[in-house]
Structure 1
Amino acid sequence: MLEGAVMEFWKWIIAIFLFMTFVSFALLCIDLGNINSFKQQVNYQIERQGGLTETAVANLKEYSNKYYHGNFAVESEQLNKKVSYGDAVDYTVKGTFDIKIFPIVPDVHLNFNGTGVSQVR
């Protein structure tokens, strides 16, 4: 009789742990979905500022801090340079994502590549 109670207890513990793991994974996926909107903002800044100029980088840093808690940073070989009309700017968005429910797991660091085209004449 006691074995059944112990078995039921461990089933509940395992079920709760699995549920929390799935919820944590879902929250991470939601955070990963934010990368597309941030890359859209990077492309917008490249189009409007003529590349990843100092102003564009400052705007992106402020945008990341305001809306994404500073999770994103932009790196590029053409950083702080103005490019001419129609030139492509390749960049890498570095994302740092924390695991919400299990904070003992280290942060996840991912890189996302993108390209924007300058629209400033």
Structure 2
Amino acid sequence: MQEQTISELVKWFIGLLLIFGMVSIALFLYQFQDINTYKQQINYQIEREGGLTKDAVKSLKKESEDNYNGRYTIKSEKLNEKVPFGEKVDYTVVSKITVYLFEIPDMTIEQSGSGVSQVR
């Protein structure tokens, strides 16, 4: 009789652990997909400002702080520079993603992208 009770408790423990794992993965993937939205904002700023100028970087930093809890930063060789019309600006978005429900250190993910200046 006791064996059934213990096996039932083990089943509940494993089931709850699996549920917590799936919720943690879902939260991680939700944060991960936000990178594409932020990259779209970077491309808009490059098109409007003529590159990653000081104003564009300031606006993107504010966007990251306000909407993404300061999760994203930008690295680029052409940071704080205005580029001519049609020139491609390569950049890398560095994101720090928190893994919830488990004590795992924050993950740092880098994704590269590029935008084209549309300012004449």
TM beyond 0.5? yes
RMSD after superposition: 0.7
Confirm or deny that 1:16 pairs with 2:4. Answer: no
Distance in 1, Cα, partners of 2:54 & 2:4: 66
For residue 113 of structure 1, what is the aligned residue in structure 2? Answer: 112
Amino acid at match of 1:119: Q
Counterpart position of 1:72: 72
Partner of 1:42: 42
The aligned runs of 1:88-103 (5 Å cut-off) are 88-102=88-102
TM-score (norm 2): 0.97
Find the aligned partners of 2:105 and 2:7 in 1 and give their Cα distance: 32
**Once the two structures are superposed, what CA deviation does each residue of 1:64-87 show, in whole Å capped at 9, x if it has no partner?**
000000011111011111100000
Measure the CA separation in 1 of the matches of 2:119 and 2:74: 20
> What residue ranges of structure 1 are gaps of 5+ in the alignment?
none
Q: Describe the superposition over 1:68-120 as per-residue Cα deviations: whole angstroms up to 9, x where unpaired.
A: 00011111011111100000000000011101222x11111100100000011
Cα distance in 2 for partners of 1:92, 1:47 equals 16
Q: In the aligned structure 2, how far is the partner of 1:113 from the partner of 1:27?
A: 22
Show the counterpart of 2:51: 51
Work out the percentage of aligned pairs sharing the same amino acid. Answer: 46
- Give the distance between the partners of 1:101 and 1:119, measured in 2 at CA: 44
Q: Which amino acid aligns with 1:65?
A: E
Counterpart amino acid of residue 13 in structure 1? F
Which residue identity lines up with residue 91 of structure 1 in the other structure? Answer: Y
Matched length: 120
Gaps of 5+ in 2: none
Structure 1 length as normaliser, TM-score?
0.97
Runs of 4+ deviating beyond 4 Å: none
